[in-house]
Amino acid sequence: MSMTVNEPAAIDHDAFAVRRSIRIDASPERVWAAVTEPEHISRWFSESTELDRLETGGSGRLIWTDYGAFPFEIVEVDAPHTIAYRWSNEPALLDTARPDPVRSTVFRFTIESDGEGPEAGTVLTVVETGFAALSDPAAALESNRGGWTHELDELVAYLEGAERLERAEPAGDDAATAERA
């Protein structure tokens, strides 16, 4: 099975934003689950994901062994089309309960069907904004451009079943916390 190949993320320097649109050979419902449910997020994005509730105001953490725990909160939900998360990007603000409302960025996923029938898939667009208020906006833009390129390729691999994604099922029955093997 070959994985869908997409263009890398790009920086919009005028808007201080990172943007990427990808096509995934999966239904919009599967893509929605992959970007909103901890057990799926931990299969392609973070090593472990915690989320208290899937609604505006819900909060949690994206956890990586090498990088720490990144607090986030949900700032917009229009299921199953759009979800936006605010998260901390500054090392000094990690391991807190919620992201700083000023020194953080917002990433918004928009999900659209790209057709009907057996060949239909989904177009997922991520736009991350808010870099201007960070301590080093240029470095953060570049880092997150690379991050979204890599992580969304992981999402495509996860949803399309590509062999390069070597992650086990989340351990335990706790749906609010999921860990990557």
- Do the Cβ atoms of 125 and 19 come closer than 8 Å? yes
Model pLDDT for residues 136-179, shown as the tens digit of each residue: 999 999 999 999 999 999 999 999 996 434 443 333 344 444 55
- In Å, what is the CA distance from 4 to each residue of 145, 155, 157? 19, 11, 8
Overall fold of domain 10-164: Alpha-D-Glucose-1,6-Bisphosphate; Chain A, domain 4 (3.30.530)
Model pLDDT for residues 90-126, shown as the tens digit of each residue: 766 676 778 988 899 999 999 999 988 878 899 999 9
* pTM of the predicted structure, to 2 decimals: 0.86
Extents of the domains making up the chain: 10-164
- In Å, what is the CA distance from 31 to each residue of 75, 83, 142? 19, 12, 25
Query: Best-predicted range by mean pLDDT among 58-67, 85-94, 168-177?
Result: 58-67
The two beta strands, 82-88 and 122-129, are unpaired
